[in-house]
Amino acid sequence: MRILSRSVALASILIVCPIPSSFAQDSKKEPSGSITGQVTVGGRPAARVTVMLTPSDRSPLQQQMSIRATTDEEGRFTLKSVPAGSYTVSPNTPALVVGSDTSFAQPGKTVTLGDGEEVDGIDFSLVKGGVITGRVTNAEGRPLIEQRISLIRVDERGQRMPTPFFNPFMFSTDDRGVYRIYGILQGRYKVSAGDALDSGMVRIGFGGGSYPQTFHPDVTEESRAPAVEVSAGSEAAGIDIKLGRVTRTYVAIGRIVDADTGKPLANLQVGHGPVNRDQRLIGGFGWSGNRTNNNGEFRIEGLSPGRYAAFAVSTEQVDFYSEAVIFEINDSDASAIEIKTRRGSSISGTVIIEGSDDPDVLARLPKLELRASVQTEELTPPSTAPVRVNPDGSFLISGLRPGKARIFLGGIGYDAVRAFSLLRVERDGTALRDGVAVAAGENVSGVRVVIGYGTCVVRGQLRIQGGDLAPNARLMISARSLNSDGMRRGTLADARGRFSLEGLLPGEYEITVSAMSVTPSAAGVPPPPGAISNRTLAKQNVTVANGVETEVTLVIDLGARDKDGEK
C-alpha cells in the first residue's frame, strides 16, 4: 500500500528551539485555551448540535469525554477552558456525517492546542448520512433475529478502504429479521451476515448453530459480492441477505480442578479462544460470565469446528494461575476437558517516583496500576487482572506462573497517569532489564518499580513542501527517550500540522515523523493489532528540560529524491 502520493526522501529538517517559556501545564493554573468553529448542514447553520472534545491520543474505546458545547442559532460553538494538548473535536450527530482526519477513522478533527491558545475555524460541514436496510433470512426464507451485519467499504475496483467508526449497536437484525444502518458516508459497501471463519472473533453463549458468512444477496465470496452504492441522504433498501444452511455448533464440557489436590474448584469463570497450529491464541478470546458449579464443571456452547484453548479467567488478583488446555472440535462435542490451576508465585515491593516529592504527584499513586506478563514458551492464557498501587506505594502481584515476569505501568483515567513513565524495575540496586525471575511457588520481595513524573513538553509545527500526502495518510509524531529504556510518547498532527508531546522526562529524545495508514476493517470493528502501518519520513534528536516548553519546527520535502533516485 502506498501511503504517500510520491516516494519520499527527507531533504531537510529544521529544528528551532527558542528560549524556553515557563511550563504551561501548571496544575494550579486554570486552563484558558479555547476552540471555536461553526457547524453547518447543507450550507446553513446547524443550531443545538452538541460538539465534543476528547483526548486524541487514546483509541475510541478508551476516550473519556471531557468538554462539550452546543451550537447557537448561527451554528457557532466554543469549547472553553481547554488545557494545552492534542484533542479530537467532533459533532455528535448520529444521522449526519462528517469527514475524518483522526486515527481509527472516527469522525472529527484533530486539534493541537497550546497553553492559552485560541483556535478558530474548526468548522464542520455536515450532510445527511446514507442508509442501508434489508432483511436477513435463512434457507427456508424465515427471518433471522439478532444476526450481526458487517459493512466493508470498497473503492471502484472492489479493494477495501478504511471504514468509518460506526455505532455497533445498529449492526443486528430485529425480530422481523430487518436491519437498518444509518449515518453512512457516501461510498460503496459490501454487506454481509454470518460468521467469517478467519475473523478471529469468539462467539459467546450462542448455541443452536451458526451461519457461514454470506454477502448480499447470497454470495459467500467477498470478491464476487456486488457493492451497494450509497449517496448523501439516500436509502439503499432491499439489501437482503439469504443465508445458507445453518452449520451445527458444538459444546465443550469439562471441569476445573486444583492440580495439587485434585479437588474441583467452584465459582470460577472459564475463558476460551481459537488456537493455531503453532499453539498460539489467535484473534480474540472471551468468556460468558458463567461459572463452574460446585463440582467444578463448566460448559462452553456455540463452538464451530476448530482448535481451541480453555482456561480459568480472573479479573481480580488471585493466588493461582491456570493452565491452558487445547481441545479440538470436529463433528462432535468435546468432553472430559480438565483445566488445572496451580499455586502461583508472587512479587511484592514498592513503586517509587524518582525526582519528585510533590504531595499532589504522590497522591496519584492509588490511581496507578501494574500488570505482569510472564515470558514462557508454553501456551499462556491472557492476563486480565490489574494490580492497584496502594497509597504508600506498596504493591503485591500474585498468581504468577514460573518464568520471567515483565512489569508494565497503567492506570485509571488519562489525566491521572499520562505524565507517569516506567523507568526501570530493580532489586537490591540491580536493574532487572529482562524481567523478574520467579520460581514455582516463590514469593519475590523487595522489588522497586521506579517511575518518573514528566513535566516537559514539545510542541511543534510540520512544514510540508514538494508534494501532497495521500488522502488516507495521517502524520504520527513519536518521541523515544535516549536516556530511559522504553520511555515513549506519540501523537497525531492536526490539520494545521501542529502537534504536542507531553509528560516527557528531562533528557534527549529521538523525534520521528511517520505517515500512518490504518488497514481497512469491517465497520464497527476497531483496527486489530498490527493493522496500523507506518512509513518513517524524518528523525531528529531534541533535548528537553523540566519546567519548560520547547517549540519545534520540522520541514519535510516530499519532492526530494530518495536513496534510489526515485520520485
Domain ranges of the chain: 26-128, 130-242, 250-342, 345-453, 456-557
**Cβ contacts of 235 within 8 Å, gap of 6 or more:** 130, 131, 132, 133
Average pLDDT for 42-56:
89
In angstroms, the CA 164 to CA 98 distance is 10
* Residue 154 burial (CB count, 10 A): 19
Q: Which residue has the cell 524495575?
A: 425
The reported pLDDT for the residue numbered 343 is: 94
Contact present, 203 and 174 (Cβ < 8 Å): no
The reported pLDDT for the residue numbered 401 is: 92
* Higher local confidence (pLDDT), 135 or 61: 135
- Burial (Cβ within 10 Å: 0-12, 13-18, ≥19) of residue 204: middle
Select from 312, 316, 320 the least CA-distant residue to 400.
320
pLDDT digits (tens, 9 = 90+) for 290-331: 789 999 999 998 888 888 999 998 888 899 999 999 999 888
Q: Say yes or no: domain 26-128 is CATH 2.60.40.10.
A: yes
The reported pLDDT for the residue numbered 59 is: 40
Confidence of residue 527 (pLDDT cuts 50, 70, 90): very low
The reported pLDDT for the residue numbered 252 is: 93
pLDDT of 131 strictly over 50: yes
Average pLDDT for 274-289:
67
SS3 of residue 258 by DSSP: strand
Contact present, 134 and 140 (Cβ < 8 Å): no
- Fold exhibited by the domain 130-242: Immunoglobulin-like (2.60.40)
Assess whether the region 130-242 and the region 345-453 belong to the same CATH fold: yes
pLDDT of 104 strictly over 50: no
pLDDT of 436 strictly over 60: yes
Three-class DSSP labels, 124-173: EEEEECEEEEEEEECCCCCECCCCEEEEEEECCCCCECCCCCCCHHHCEC
* Higher local confidence (pLDDT), 84 or 310: 310
Confidence of residue 14 (pLDDT cuts 50, 70, 90): very low
**109 Ramachandran zone, left/alpha/beta (phi>0; psi -120 to 50):** beta
**Cβ contacts of 408 within 8 Å, gap of 6 or more:** 370, 371, 372, 373, 422
In angstroms, the CA 193 to CA 501 distance is 42
SS3 of residue 203 by DSSP: coil
**% of the chain beyond a pLDDT of 90:** 37
Confidence of residue 531 (pLDDT cuts 50, 70, 90): very low
Q: Which of 241-245, 246-250, 254-258, 548-552 has the highest mean pLDDT?
A: 254-258
**Helices and strands in the chain, H and E counts:** 2, 43
The reported pLDDT for the residue numbered 276 is: 74
Confidence of residue 23 (pLDDT cuts 50, 70, 90): very low
Select from 363, 352, 355 the least CA-distant residue to 409.
352
Q: Which of 310-324, 461-475, 550-564 has the highest mean pLDDT?
A: 310-324
In angstroms, the CA 474 to CA 477 distance is 10
* Residue 551 burial (CB count, 10 A): 17
In angstroms, the CA 299 to CA 290 distance is 8
The reported pLDDT for the residue numbered 486 is: 59
Q: Is the peptide bond before 217 cis (omega within 30 degrees of 0)?
A: yes
Confidence of residue 8 (pLDDT cuts 50, 70, 90): very low
Contact present, 395 and 349 (Cβ < 8 Å): yes
Which of 5-9, 32-36, 74-78, 379-383 comes out lowest in average pLDDT?
Answer: 5-9
DSSP class of 223: G
pLDDT of 237 strictly over 80: yes
Select from 161, 154, 164, 160 the least CA-distant residue to 104.
164
**% of the chain beyond a pLDDT of 70:** 78
- Please, what is the average pLDDT of the chain? 81
Angle value at C-alpha 375, between 372 and 380, nearest 5 degrees: 85
CATH class of 456-557: mainly beta
Q: What is the CATH number of domain 250-342?
A: 2.60.40.10
pLDDT of 75 strictly over 70: yes
pLDDT of 211 strictly over 90: no
* Residue 268 burial (CB count, 10 A): 20
The reported pLDDT for the residue numbered 186 is: 87
pLDDT digits (tens, 9 = 90+) for 321-367: 999 999 998 889 999 999 999 999 999 999 999 877 888 888 888 88
In angstroms, the CA 498 to CA 495 distance is 7
The CATH superfamily assigned to 345-453 is Immunoglobulins (2.60.40.10)
- For the full predicted model, state whether its pTM sits above 0.85: no
Confidence of residue 25 (pLDDT cuts 50, 70, 90): very low
Confidence of residue 565 (pLDDT cuts 50, 70, 90): very low
In angstroms, the CA 482 to CA 480 distance is 6
The reported pLDDT for the residue numbered 417 is: 67
The reported pLDDT for the residue numbered 529 is: 42
pLDDT of 82 strictly over 80: yes
